[in-house]
Amino acid sequence: MVQQASFITSLVTSCVVFLVLNLVYIILHRRPGNAVIYYPLRLLRGEDAATVAKRHGAFTWIVESFRATEDDIVAAGGLDAAVYMHLFTAALEIVFFSALFCVPVLITLSSRSNYNQVQQSRDANFTYTSFDNLGMGNVEPSSRKIWAFLIGMFWVSIVTYFVLWTSYRRILNMRDRVQGSAYARPQQFVVLVRDIPKTDGKETRTEQVERFFSKVHPGEYSRVQPVHKIKPVEKIFSEREEALRKLEHAEAVWELSKKKEGGGDGKRPVHRTGFMGLWGPKVDSIDYLRDKSQELTPELEKEQRRTRQDLEKDAAFVIFKDRREATEAAQVVHAPHALKWKVNQAPEPEEVCWNSLYIPAWSRAIRRIIVNTLTVLLIVFYMIPIAFVAGLTTLENLEKLLPFIKSLLKIPVLAEAIQAYLPQLALLIFLALLPKIMLILSQAEGFASQSQVVRSASSKYFYFIIFNVFLGVTIFGAVFSNISSVNFLISQSNLSPTKVVQLFGSKLPPVASYYITYVALKFFIGYGLELSRLVPLLLFTFKRKFKCKTERELKEAWAPGAFTYHKNIASDLLILTISLCYAVIAPLILPFAIMYYALGWLIMRNQALNVHVPDWESHGSFWPHIHNRILAALLVAQITALGYFGVKQFPFTPVLVVLPIASAIFYVFCRNNYYPSIRYVSLWTASEVPKAKPPPGAIAEAYTPACLQEGHPGIRDRRSNLATQLDSSINAVL
């Protein structure tokens, strides 16, 4: 009964925290001073802080979020945000329709069985809660009732296929509307050529590319923008930028001191030139920094010239006269040996990874192998500490290990709180480090665009989370609770895939309530923090007080940042994986999953409409990634069901083999028929004649990195320029 009480404690406390955070949001978000935290996207679009904040009632955000159409979201956050929102829609549909059958039918059937009781009468050590009575674990083995659970598994699978199928079509339509829009974006005219072979030495890179393209695309291409090795010039550019920033800061400090003194000369800031300003001679900051930035300017110009002349690498952007022709070129094999002259649609200028563009194909292949090997090692070896933590953090084990804790646990509230939160907290801390590591690993792979890096990181994190959190916690958490199963697992001769599936199946029901609390924690605390934006608010207040002196610094302090797709997608999909696996075995999880995705749907739409500013736009390239991983989650659920139905000694278990095969067929079907439409733009869409198209010069300018642009102001605005850019293109379109 302790388990059940701790389960309820966990739910109640989570809920209380959520309500508190909600209250915080309701109070704070209507104060104009906080508009930079709660409505940064609208401010960047030029709306007024006071009006934005006042316009909103306490719960207006819910209505607005609910009413926003897909096109509104595309206009606010771009296609990527809309696709991410659709993850919530699709997941909500899947868990909702699954629940329609599973909750009423299967829970009733389970509650009318009493196998748990029978087991307890046989084995005194066997414990169960009244929640466990509502799951498949309570049904007698090889009972005819199991047919209903089998049908449930089919129902869940069919619902998932159907939702995924309609989702792909909706995403395609949405994407098509944006791609074929009358206002053309620069990216639609450009292809990226990589792995250009060596020149014969007589002609420059540009001439070589022009010769090739004037043969294979006669009369269609307009100019070539070569890619340079920008590391040296970028170094000088950053130094100058840093100096200019510091100069701006020093001037602001001086102005402030003047104001403080009331019209006097003020106190000019000084600093030391040595390491971190701790050593070296003291200088007047303003004079020193002005001199430094002025010295760096001619040096930068010289380096820019040298880069343009001598550092052309074997990649280039080729700008076409027409969208149709660029689209066509991006899909075609150009050279007789496909290893050379690899042509692809160019990424949007903001998401280009400049330093990866000219990594040769063989190096990319090797990098990929190394990175994937490292990822596998990371996934496998992270399992060991996680397994121990999961094993330790059950109360019984803690007592065994740390006897002094026993006295603490005599206080029932404390015992319950530890029981409820310790395992989840341990898990959450372990996981917080991972996404960043995965992102760094993916950057090393040599992708041409940020979105590919993020997709790859998200994929790594997803596999990590499935293997370690889901499989790891379930198997090890259950196995480590008694020594005999450890021995069972270690004695290698018993270890085979079939065995692992069966073992996994048999260990699922006992940890069902663990996952329910995990889901509840995730959505109450996670979404509470997301909505109330307490952390950014506190950080901003702190920075405004102690650090920021200039307008620019202030703006950068409240700049909201984009959605962290590489982190969010994987953890949202984890909840779906858990829900699908338990949908039939412990259907009680479904209402919680519905709440998770319904709340997520509302709050994330609010964030997309008002808060997050995209760093770049990849035109919905995330959907195939999400689609495949939802399908993978379903596959895990189907294989788990195979194991668990086998454990329940149901003679018709082999019927379930149909499901993984159906998933494989569905995967191939979508990959062949829908994936090409997202990977490429269709010729029909690209043939729509745009009303306005950017001039080739402007396109070439857009595909020049900041440090090579002539007459660049010297300070890049971090994370605020895309919002205005979105305004001028997407927004105008819809």
Which pair of tokens denotes residue 243?
A: 């100096």
Q: Which is nearer to a copy of itself, 497 or 711 (CB)?
A: 497
Q: What are phi and psi of 434, to 5 degrees?
A: -65, -50
Q: Residue 162 interacts with a copy of itself (CB under 8 A)?
A: no
| Least spacing, CB of residue 676 vs a copy of itself, in Å | 5
Among 122, 337, 410, 545, binds a copy of itself (CB under 8 A): 337
Among 499, 547, 716, 718, binds a copy of itself (CB under 8 A): 499
Among 101, 149, 155, 212, binds a copy of itself (CB under 8 A): 212
Q: Residue 498 interacts with a copy of itself (CB under 8 A)?
A: yes
Q: Which is nearer to a copy of itself, 649 or 728 (CB)?
A: 649
Q: How many residues bind a copy of itself (CB under 8 A)?
A: 44
Q: Which is nearer to a copy of itself, 264 or 676 (CB)?
A: 676
Pattern 631-670, binding to a copy of itself, x per CB under 8 A?
----------------------------------x---x-
Helix (H) or strand (E) holding 490: helix 483-490
Q: Residue 673 interacts with a copy of itself (CB under 8 A)?
A: yes
| Least spacing, CB of residue 56 vs a copy of itself, in Å | 38
| Least spacing, CB of residue 197 vs a copy of itself, in Å | 11
Among 12, 365, 377, 538, binds a copy of itself (CB under 8 A): 365
For 256-264, the CB contacts below 8 A with 24+ separation are 256/549
Among 421, 558, 592, 674, binds a copy of itself (CB under 8 A): 674
Q: Residue 169 interacts with a copy of itself (CB under 8 A)?
A: yes
Q: Residue 302 interacts with a copy of itself (CB under 8 A)?
A: no
Q: Residue 20 interacts with a copy of itself (CB under 8 A)?
A: no
| Least spacing, CB of residue 210 vs a copy of itself, in Å | 15
- Walk across the sheet containing 342-345 and list its strands: 221-228, 312-320, 190-194, 342-345
Q: Residue 339 interacts with a copy of itself (CB under 8 A)?
A: yes
Q: Residue 677 interacts with a copy of itself (CB under 8 A)?
A: yes
Among 338, 411, 538, 657, binds a copy of itself (CB under 8 A): 338
Which pair of tokens denotes residue 460?
A: 């790594």
Residue type, 196: I
DSSP 367-424: HHHHHHHHHHHHHHHHHHHHHHHHHHTSHHHHHHH-TTHHHHTTSHHHHHHHHHHHHH
SS3 526: helix
Picking from 391, 407, 320, 316, the residue whose alpha carbon sits closest to that of residue 357 is: 316
Residue 56 pairs with which residues in a beta bridge? none
DSSP 118-162: HHHHH-TT----TTGGGSGGGSPTT-TTHHHHHHHHHHHHHHHHH
CA distance readout (Å), 404 to 52, 391, 401, 410, 588: 55, 18, 9, 11, 36
Picking from 348, 354, 317, 310, the residue whose alpha carbon sits closest to that of residue 196 is: 317
| Least spacing, CB of residue 336 vs a copy of itself, in Å | 4
| Selected range binding a copy of itself among 212-220, 384-392, 539-547, 602-610, rule: CB under 8 A | 212-220
| Least spacing, CB of residue 312 vs a copy of itself, in Å | 21
SS3 631: helix
Q: Which is nearer to a copy of itself, 292 or 364 (CB)?
A: 364
Q: Residue 682 interacts with a copy of itself (CB under 8 A)?
A: yes
What is the rounded distance in angstroms from the CA atom of residue 710 to the CA atom of residue 701? 10
Which pair of tokens denotes residue 561?
A: 């940042």
Exposure string (b/e) for 595-626, b if CB count within 10 Å is 16 or more?
A: bbbbbbbbbbbbbbbbbbbbbbbbbbbbbbbb
Interface residue list for a copy of itself (CB under 8 A): 169, 172-173, 176, 180, 212, 215-217, 324, 327-329, 331-339, 341, 361, 365, 369, 496-499, 665, 669, 673-677, 680-685, 687
